[in-house]
Amino acid sequence: MGDEETIFSISEGHLDSGLRGIPVGTCKTSYVDPIEGVHYVGYPVGDLANLEEEDVIYLLMHKRLPDPEESAAFRKELAHRGEEMPTGALRVLENLTPGSGHPMDWLSIGIMAMGAAETTGDVRVDSMNLIARTPELMARIFLLRGGHPEKLRPRNTELGLVENFVHMLGVDGEEAEMMNRALRFFFILHMDHGGGNLSTFSGKAVASGKASVYASLASAMNALSGPLHGRANQACLEFVQRIGTSDPDEIEKFVRAELAAKRPIYGFGHGVLRAEDPRARLLIELGSEVCPDDEYYKIAKALREVVPPILKEHPKIKNPFPNVDLASGSLLHAIGFRKPHYYTTFFGWARVAGICAQILDERNARDGRGVPIYRPKYIAKEQPHRRLE
Ligand code: AMX
């Protein structure tokens, strides 16, 4: 691609379309194929879903999978960095009222509080610290917000990111095994999703002004918190709970009523994908392994069959097929996380790695000068030139 080659033409119809499909940059960590879904550095994400989560983070940061020594060294570095949580940041969380706000507010506040306590200004160091410490931040948010801080077990960072989180929550035995398996899978599937999704884009935009990794990631989490983006996994389980039956006729009635009321059908549609998100299929397959008889999982599976033909009746909906959120909430519920409003924090936790990796790439661009500060153009509208008399 030469510097002068036209790769996209802008017409008036592109304005006020949420930058939909307009190329604005390059991304080295992942891309979303409209049919095949997300690929991390070239690998379809399904190929990576059963690896160790740290190896996939290494891939996003280094653009290749680690050899065994590199893998061990990377895990060791994360374990070491996870051994310290700034006490100032913990005090901020401890002073929030249990049950207040949304868990995503707590995640964003927690990231900012960690940044206030320990930003170094080195993007790699700050990224690695944040990735290493988010499992404990998550566990603390769950227990502090839930009013049970005494239940927190001392960290054991040797366990790895996901297992350490489950351990800190105080879960053991078979339940812990199932949580580790499903959460690791979920975690890997959600780490990255190209450069243009709202949370990643927002995080990178803030980072382009040379804001800290912490400020950038807190911004990304705020972007993720909307129901059309990350909070769709919460909305989708609440939707499944409202439906309350896997009877196809009842589901059809419910979905048609939602559409008539101009409400979104959660778990369906996508800004880029034009087929079922392979991650939806992978999560449905995981469900058939870990919770085949779970009532909500059965409803999600029934939605997968019933909804697409209904959405196809609405030509404006470009993708009538399931997205990643269709089954993720049902799975999280089945493995023991009963409160849907916490689900987006899992999504956010996973995204920390992908967004940090993309920010690192953008900071290293142009021989280390970084990408220029983001500055798209908005064309003035309904603003005739005026003067005060
Ligand atoms: N239910 C109802 N209407 C939908 C729809 C759905 N599942 N998907 C698309 N539409 C509507 C849009 O709201 C839009 O209507 P408008 O012209 O009146 O504004 C029209 O169809 C065209 O939309 P589109 O180009 O097909 O999709 P988009 O890029 O504008 O929106 C998305 C994508 C995901 C926000 C949308 O499909 C949606 O709202 N889905 C339901 C919420 C959801 O599951 N979000 C999770 C997405 C994945 C993620 O980020 N976690």
Is a pLDDT exceeding 80 seen at residue 1? no
Q: Of 270, 277, 333, 361, which is the active-site residue?
A: 270
Give me the residues paired with residue 37 across strands.
33
Beta carbon of 316 within 6 Å of any ligand 1 atom = yes
Structural domains in the chain, sorted by start: 37-227+341-366 (1.10.580.10), 232-334 (1.10.230.10)
Task: Tell me whether strands 30-33 and 43-44 are parallel, antiparallel or unpaired.
Answer: unpaired
Q: Of 229, 277, 333, 361, which is the active-site residue?
A: 229
Inter-axis angle of helices 198-208 and 343-368, nearest 10: 40
270 annotated active-site: yes
> End-to-end CA distance of the chain, in Å?
53
Per residue in 79-123, pLDDT (tens digit) is 999 999 999 999 999 999 999 999 999 999 999 999 999 999 999
- Protein residue closest via CA to atom 18 of ligand 1: 316
Give me the residues paired with residue 39 across strands.
31, 44
- Rg, the chain, Cα only: 21
Q: What is the pTM of this model?
A: 0.95
Contacts of 282 (CB under 8 A, 6+ apart): 45, 46, 49, 185, 189
Per residue in 209-222, pLDDT (tens digit) is 999 999 999 999 99
Distance 264 CA to ligand 1 centre (A): 7
325 annotated active-site: yes
190 annotated active-site: no
Per residue in 7-60, pLDDT (tens digit) is 999 999 999 999 999 999 999 999 999 999 999 999 999 999 999 999 999 999
Question: Which amino acid, one-letter code, is at 373?
Answer: I
Per residue in 131-181, pLDDT (tens digit) is 999 999 999 999 999 999 999 999 999 999 999 999 999 999 999 999 999
Q: Which atom of ligand 1 is nearest to the CA of 267?
A: 44
